[in-house]
A and B are shown apart, each in its own frame.
Chain A
Amino acid sequence: MKLGFSLAEEAFRDECAAWLQDRMANAFADIRGIANLTEKIERRKEWEQELAAHRWSCIGWPEQWGGRGASLAEQVIFAEEYARAGAPGRVNHIGVELAGPTILAFGTEEQKAKFLPGIAAGTSIWCQGYSEPNAGSDLANVRTKARLEGDQWVVNGQKVWTSLAHYSDWIFVVARSEEGSKGPKGLTFLMMKLDQPGIDVVPIRQINGEAEFNETFFADARCPADSLIGTPGDGWRVAMGLLAFERGVSTLGQQMGFRNELDEIIRVARENGAARDPLIRQRIAKAEIGLRLMRYGALRMLSRTDLSAIDGAALTYKIQWATWRRDLGELAMDVLGQAGEIAEGDAYEWGMLPNLFLYSRCDTIYGGTNQIQRNQIAERGLGLPREPRGDV
């Protein structure tokens, strides 16, 4: 067991730190530190392309597809230096972290050649079409239909809560392709171009006033017959495989964002005197401890070699960070006091900490709610009986 990095790895750190810091100080200083998904999106697409041009956009991928085949340690280092330099949130994180790895794992050579370069280069932005009005926690209840007509799939139905669909070029859709099938059987995983007459994207306003997610309607939307990953009816396996990538190295980058939020709370607490309150001190200490433990939990889960055994660290990771961040939002408001409830300008727009308070309420919902996480931990991690299914 060892936590430190080798000399070669530290040299790699110097290399990527120098590159990132130079860009953030000069050519891309205008987008330094932007965390949300949609601000200055055109400039941030340029930033994706800059990363790609220097092979920094998806370093864990094989070299053939624009990556560097980077080791775990190198990916950890890059995630840390990326955030330290203040580089902005990745607008194409769904492409880089979900679609790309899924195509790498399950796609054909043609599909890799068709899709991976655009993802690596930041020229095709992706979104995730899983949830529907009647398929949320119960994702297998998908009703959007896909049928093969000649050399095309024809899709009808509706997705909802589709993050970033209004900025995306591509969407991956889980649709029911076998008439009369139920549950996880008979689903197909399709990759579709969003810009077509059969797809309509309608933004939905969220509690923080912004609109990052959407309703996505499909009315005879089309894609070529070879747009599926895996085989027809096999979509559930691919969809679940994709969810496992949500627990990849990207979690370390996400943690660096959390670091910035906690640092801001610490800064405010020292400035406004909240840091003198012993109860606030205890909560800040708990937040600091929780964040550190998240890092070492992620390193445990990523260092693991025996992938066949149940991995407790991976299974508990989502509820751990989601709950931590929700609590952090509440701490932020307690540190700010009433000042946190007044917007800076005339619009219903919030600075980092009040927005953290509002936004973090979704962390315990999306990607599997805390309740669903507990069910899965109990069933898969502890071997307890499964929840009974009703037939309403």
Chain B
Amino acid sequence: MDFVFTDEQVMIADTVSAFLVESATSERTRAAMAADGLDRSLWASFCEDLGLAGIGVPEESGGVGLGMVEQAIVAEAAGATVAPLPLLGHAMLVRAIVAGGSHEQKDTWLSRLVSGRIVGAVARAEHWQDKGSSLSLVADFVPHGASADLIMVCGEARAWLVDAAQPQVTRIGHVTMDQTRPLATVTLTEARVEELPDGPAAIAAAEVTGLLSLSAEALGVAQEALDRTVAYSKERIQFGRPIGSFQAYKHRLADMMVLIEQARSAVYWAACALDENDADAWLALHAAKSFCADTAFMCAANMIQLHGGIGFTWEHDAHLFFKRARSIQTLMGSGNHHREKVAAMVLGEAA
């Protein structure tokens, strides 16, 4: 038992965070927000220069191996910069193919995804019409769905890969409150699809990866909201003293730190539990998703309040964190949903 990063993990964290702080600037993020919410050249250098898009993919498939702790480290850094990257769908998709894809599917898709030549996304559908090799359905709220080249659609226990370039696939990208990760409606009309042979394994892999990534992202959002607010509170003077010297202000910052420390424990508990196949892994994921999302929202909301008027402007980055936090809260199940799962584990199912 040793609940601290290894030297290698510290190095990955430093590298990815230095890269994103330097490259995922507010200016570039805003340019992506005005388009489809994806900074393609940033994604290209993330994949090619850093090589971290291959986490979770075995080396023989073009990946770099590594586990969920490393996955969380990357997602945390991406959250801290609200980077307009397709990381969520990417991580879910590659892990799904690794877990439930055929040899051929792994050969065809993994290296292209990992190298950044194609962008991946994951969608969920309630109803579908399956005619053997073609599929018809509508999937809502697909993160970066309008930008993706390859989409995995999940329906109950089945999962299909869909090449988004075919005319039988239409995608409508919506004006989305969080413009750094816009949502799309994806419609398949007798589209050509290839089913993943082990649907349940693919879906489970996508789900745990998504929940962990969102939790880690939320942690990054929360910590950055705190750090930037602390910095501002030391500069801004009112009543002849820094606003950070007022106790009411200090105590709100302290409360943020208390939550963030717990969120950090939650993320890396869940990551380790997954890596070590611990029996509590699902409990940890439900805990992490609900706790971290709420923490990110509380911190980002405080970031606006504690900046005063400037925090309410479009120009200031506070709203990027605030909107990302809000979208994390609803993606893949609300806090109440995940807490009910925890309740069912300790109390039994609701009557």
Residues of A whose CB lies within 8 Å of any CB of B are 1-5, 9, 72-73, 76, 266, 269-270, 275-276, 278, 281-282, 284-286, 288-290, 292-294, 296-297, 299-300, 302-305, 312-313, 315-316, 319-320, 371, 373-375, 377-379, 381-385, 387-388
CB neighbours of A375 from chain B (8 A): 247, 250-251, 254
Given contact pairs A289-B342, A292-B287, A1 touches B347 in the complex (Cβ within 8 A): no
| Cα(A282)–Cα(B291), bound, Å | 12
CB–CB B342/A288 < 8 A:
yes
Q: Report B119 CB to chain A, min CB distance, Å.
A: 30
Q: Say if the beta carbon of B242 comes within 8 Å of chain A.
A: yes
Q: Which listed segment binds A: B44-52, B148-156, B162-170, B271-279? A: B271-279
Residues of B whose CB lies within 8 Å of any CB of A are 1-6, 9, 69, 226, 230, 233-234, 241-242, 244-245, 247, 250-251, 253-255, 257-258, 260-262, 264-266, 268-269, 271-273, 276, 278, 280, 283-284, 287, 290-291, 336, 339-343, 345-348, 350-351
From A72, A275, A276, A293, B291 is in contact (CB under 8 Å) with A293
Given contact pairs A266-B346, A378-B253, A297 touches B261 in the complex (Cβ within 8 A): yes
| Cα(A3)–Cα(B348), bound, Å | 27
From A9, A294, A387, B1 is in contact (CB under 8 Å) with A9
CB–CB B254/A374 < 8 A:
yes
CB neighbours of A315 from chain B (8 A): 257, 261
Q: Report A43 CB to chain B, min CB distance, Å.
A: 33
CB–CB B3/A4 < 8 A:
no
CB neighbours of B1 from chain A (8 A): 2-5, 9, 72-73, 76, 299, 303
CB–CB A384/B4 < 8 A:
no
| Cα(A270)–Cα(B268), bound, Å | 31
Given contact pairs A300-B265, A312-B261, A319-B258, A281 touches B343 in the complex (Cβ within 8 A): yes
| Cα(A315)–Cα(B253), bound, Å | 14
If over half of B's interface residues share one DSSP class (helix, strand or loop), that class is named, otherwise mixed; here it is helix
Q: Which residue of A lies closest to B255 (CB)?
A: A374
| Cα(A284)–Cα(B6), bound, Å | 34
Q: Report B234 CB to chain A, min CB distance, Å.
A: 7
CB neighbours of A1 from chain B (8 A): 2-6, 9, 69, 268, 271-272
Can you list the 9 inter-chain pairs with the closest CB atoms, starting with the nearest?
Answer: A385-B245, A378-B250, A285-B339, A374-B254, A296-B265, A281-B343, A377-B254, A285-B342, A285-B343
CB–CB B255/A289 < 8 A:
no
| Cα(A293)–Cα(B261), bound, Å | 9
| Cα(A5)–Cα(B1), bound, Å | 5
